[in-house]
């Protein structure tokens, strides 16, 4: 069995953390100190996103990714929904390198979403960042529910508790990866996962039968790198997740034309798709996990 373990330490691993200038360029709405919706009271934003960023940095978690929802040209709505992902270089999931040593497989991430328009509270999710493909996987299990905090109720101790709970559940994530790596897949499971990717990308209800041709299934299941060319659940999940988010697979339209799926550009859709696919693959993980 391949060994996958959680490791805590301070080995000064180099990571490209985002500076304040980077954040301002990638996610300017995170710096809002007053509501972006004029209909709201100025007292609405008692704690803004940058307050949380600074507090997470005190706890060792630094920003590595940021994005915000841009307003459509024809839209009159007021948007300030944004996402910032944080990583701690001393918290990582390791795996054997095949030569008796250990290498980093992925980093746990804390994903913060928020808005200053009255539509969202602070919401925290947990993800995994794989070094091999630079793909972020959002994990949301029954054991690790999402955390949501209203702006008016935010304080540092609340955040400290959230981070502690995230750390507490990361070992179970590593163990689930262990089990997925040694759980063989079947043609039926692989086809089911490919159909789920197609269903999620096309907003097809779970109650509706998916009509998908063999060539599309094969295109979704074709790994892009040798590391994912493995007949196990973990390899299958990563292949499907990458195709679902980055697109690139060929599919046939209702008119019989073949097209290449595009990359998902919406922050909310990216997070929702990741979470849904994780819930799907979990159904095939042995109960012992």
| pLDDT tens sequence across 6-17 | 444 554 444 689
pLDDT for res 143:
52
pLDDT for res 5:
45
User: What average pLDDT does range 50-71 have in this prediction?
Assistant: 90
For residue 194, pLDDT beyond 60: yes
**Position with higher pLDDT, 239 vs 78:** 239
pLDDT for res 217:
94
Q: What is the band of 289 on the pLDDT scale with cuts at 50, 70, 90?
A: very low
In the chain, pLDDT over 70 holds for what percent of residues?
A: 78
**Count of beta carbons in the 10 Å neighbourhood of residue 59:** 17
The CA distance from 203 to 83, in Å, is: 23
The CA distance from 33 to 66, in Å, is: 18
Return the DSSP state at 132: T
**Count of beta carbons in the 10 Å neighbourhood of residue 194:** 25
For residue 42, pLDDT beyond 80: no
pLDDT for res 288:
53
Considering the chain, what is the average pLDDT of its residues? Answer: 80
**Position with higher pLDDT, 234 vs 137:** 234
For the ranges 10-14, 19-23, 142-146, the lowest mean pLDDT is seen at 10-14
Return the DSSP state at 86: E
The CA distance from 65 to 84, in Å, is: 6
pLDDT for res 8:
47
Return the DSSP state at 155: -
For residue 162, pLDDT beyond 60: yes
The CA distance from 34 to 48, in Å, is: 8
**Position with higher pLDDT, 172 vs 289:** 172
pLDDT for res 54:
95
CB 90 within 8 A of CB 101: no
Q: What is the band of 118 on the pLDDT scale with cuts at 50, 70, 90?
A: low
Q: What is the band of 218 on the pLDDT scale with cuts at 50, 70, 90?
A: very high
**Position with higher pLDDT, 7 vs 260:** 260
């Amino acid at each position: 069995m391949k060994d996958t373990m959680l490791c805590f330490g301070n080995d000064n691993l180099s990571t490209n953390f985002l500076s304040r200038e980077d954040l301002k360029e990638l996610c300017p709405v995170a710096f809002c100190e007053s509501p972006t919706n004029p209909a709201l009271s100025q007292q609405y934003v008692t704690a803004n996103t940058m307050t949380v960023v600074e507090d997470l940095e005190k706890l060792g978690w630094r920003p590595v990714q940021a994005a915000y929802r841009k307003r459509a040209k024809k839209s009159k709505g007021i948007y300030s929904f944004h996402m910032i992902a944080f990583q701690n270089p001393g918290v990582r999931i390791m795996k054997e390198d095949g030569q008796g040593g250990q290498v980093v497989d992925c980093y746990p991430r804390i994903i913060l979403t928020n808005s200053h328009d009255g539509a969202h509270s602070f919401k925290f999710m947990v993800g995994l960042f794989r070094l091999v493909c630079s793909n972020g996987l959002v994990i949301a299990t029954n054991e690790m529910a999402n955390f949501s905090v209203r702006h008016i109720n935010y304080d540092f101790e609340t955040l400290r508790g959230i981070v502690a709970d995230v750390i507490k559940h990361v070992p179970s994530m590593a163990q689930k990866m262990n089990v997925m790596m040694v759980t063989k897949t079947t043609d039926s499971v692989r086809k089911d996962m490919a159909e789920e990717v197609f269903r999620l990308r096309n907003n097809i209800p779970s109650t509706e039968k998916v009509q998908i041709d063999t060539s599309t299934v094969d295109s979704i299941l074709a790994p892009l790198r040798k590391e994912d060319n493995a007949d196990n659940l973990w390899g299958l999940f990563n292949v499907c997740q990458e195709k679902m988010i980055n697109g690139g697979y060929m599919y046939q339209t209702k008119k019989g034309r073949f097209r290449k799926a595009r990359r998902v550009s919406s922050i909310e859709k990216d997070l929702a798709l990741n979470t849904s696919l994780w819930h799907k693959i979990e159904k095939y993980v042995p109960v012992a996990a």
